[in-house]
Amino acid sequence: MTTQPRRSKITPEREQEFYEAALDLLREDGYEALTMEGVAARSRCGKSTLYRQWGTKQRLVAAALRGTRCVRLADIDTGTLEGDLRAVARSAALFSARDTSLTHALGHAVLQNPELLRALREALIEPEIAAINAMVRRAVERGEIAADNPAAEFVSVQLSGVIRARPMLEGLPADEAYLTRFIQASILPALIRRTATPS
Amino acid sequence: MTTQPRRSKITPEREQEFYEAALDLLREDGYEALTMEGVAARSRCGKSTLYRQWGTKQRLVAAALRGTRCVRLADIDTGTLEGDLRAVARSAALFSARDTSLTHALGHAVLQNPELLRALREALIEPEIAAINAMVRRAVERGEIAADNPAAEFVSVQLSGVIRARPMLEGLPADEAYLTRFIQASILPALIRRTATPS
């Protein structure tokens, strides 16, 4: 009885348009000011379409965060840790502006709204942590990093932290050149085995 | 004519009470919901007192951010970089909860309000960056860090980033034990000269 999936007349393309409209409005005016009516007007549909599909603005925003995620750090596998992290620098820089403005726009709302916080974490944060931790694990397996190197646990929080902190501290985005310098200067020296140590 | 400072009947102690009331309400309900009336009620004064002294809620919040700052990283000087950074870990952990909730509460408002963003940076961010950069400079002068070590520029952004990112990534505050492990595992190994290099 409940196995029959709910039928939706919305095509995936149209769904993406609703998601983009919701996130654009979110970035422009913040979460409090966002309304289903506003998203309907921006995407030229009746608001009943949105209510039927998502019910609340909270559910629409959560779906939009999940549905528009396109960084696929999990696909990166260049064969070296340095290559993997340079590829992260490329994609992270591409998407950090989007993520920063969304995080700011959601700001206080996520603190009061556990479902929204969970959606933000699932959409923006957890896939990146998992992908970076997998890169580090592969580097350990290849012998690039000592298995007991205590710096290994901090790679994802360091990258994520620097991407979030540079705009606050220096008023500049953490672009690819900056992240690449950071990876070379600070991340790799603490991780990579310097010399073959005699055993 | 304008050299005579404006007379205020508010004592420094009373001023601190207004500041704490404003920041408490800010953390509880966010910037949009904050009103001069609310601060007046919380601190049991007439709202005209607040209007006379600060004019707008924006100026009150900016003054409160500046006036309640009590981390004095600039006073830390233990004689070694490791000692200095461990002391940072102690104070940063103490204040990171306060700063994180304020940053979240101000969220979207700072993006639309340059005076507020400037106050946030002056009160919470710039004194810490300057203090950490001074620690690194002293370590270079003592010969603990090579003068051309490219990791030196990233110390403040890394510390600040990890403090902000850990709660997002792991749902846990960056407490003293965590920051100390991070400094030992990731920051110092990339900075400190390993051996006396022959010149």
pLDDT tens for residues A6-23? Answer: 546 788 899 999 999 999
| ipTM of predicted assembly, 2 dp | 0.73
Categorize the per-residue pLDDT at A144 as very low, low, confident or very high, splitting at 50, 70 and 90.
very high
d(CA A27, CA A156): 25
Same domain, B35 and B79: no
d(CA A193, CA A188): 9
| Cβ-based contacts under 8 A for chains A and B | 124
Share of chain B above pLDDT 90, in %: 47
Note the pLDDT of residue B95.
59
- pLDDT at residue B99 greater than cutoff 70: no
* Residues of chain A found within 8 Å of residue B108, distances taken between Cβ atoms: 30-31, 104-105, 107-108
Note the pLDDT of residue B8.
61
Same domain, B41 and B126: no
Q: Which residues of A touch B (CB under 8 A)?
A: 30-32, 101, 104-108, 110-111, 121, 125, 129, 149-151, 153-154, 156-158, 160-166, 168-170, 181-182, 184-187, 189-190
d(CA A73, CA B194): 34
Same domain, A83 and A130: yes
Same domain, B89 and B131: yes
d(CA A182, CA B153): 9
Residue A183: other Cβ atoms inside 10 A: 23
Classify residue B1: in a domain, yes or no.
no
CB B191 within 8 A of CB B154: no
Question: CATH number for the domain including B171?
Answer: 1.10.357
* Residues of chain A found within 8 Å of residue B149, distances taken between Cβ atoms: 185
Same domain, B128 and B32: no
- pLDDT at residue B2 greater than cutoff 50: no
CB B90 within 8 A of CB B108: no
Q: Which domain holds residue B58?
A: 12-67
Categorize the per-residue pLDDT at B14 as very low, low, confident or very high, splitting at 50, 70 and 90.
very high
Note the pLDDT of residue A1.
44
Question: CATH number for the domain including B51?
Answer: 1.10.10.60
Of A170, A56, A55, A196, nearest in space to A113 by CA: A56
Number of domains in chain A: 2
Note the pLDDT of residue A176.
92
Which of B43, B67, B91 corresponds to the end of one domain? Answer: B67
d(CA A187, CA A30): 34
Classify residue A30: in a domain, yes or no.
yes
Categorize the per-residue pLDDT at B3 as very low, low, confident or very high, splitting at 50, 70 and 90.
very low
* Residues of chain A found within 8 Å of residue B129, distances taken between Cβ atoms: 169
Least confident of B2-6, B22-26, B64-68, B119-123: B2-6
Classify residue B83: in a domain, yes or no.
yes
Classify residue A198: in a domain, yes or no.
no
The backbone torsions φ and ψ at residue A195, rounded to the nearest 5 degrees and listed phi first, read -135, 160
Residue A194 or residue B160, greater confidence: B160
Mean pLDDT of B156-161: 91
Distance of CA B83 to the CA centre of its chain: 20
d(CA B122, CA B124): 6
Classify residue A80: in a domain, yes or no.
yes
Share of chain A above pLDDT 90, in %: 47
Q: CB B161 to CB A158 under 8 A?
A: yes
Most confident region among A94-108, B21-35, B103-117, B146-160 by mean pLDDT: B146-160
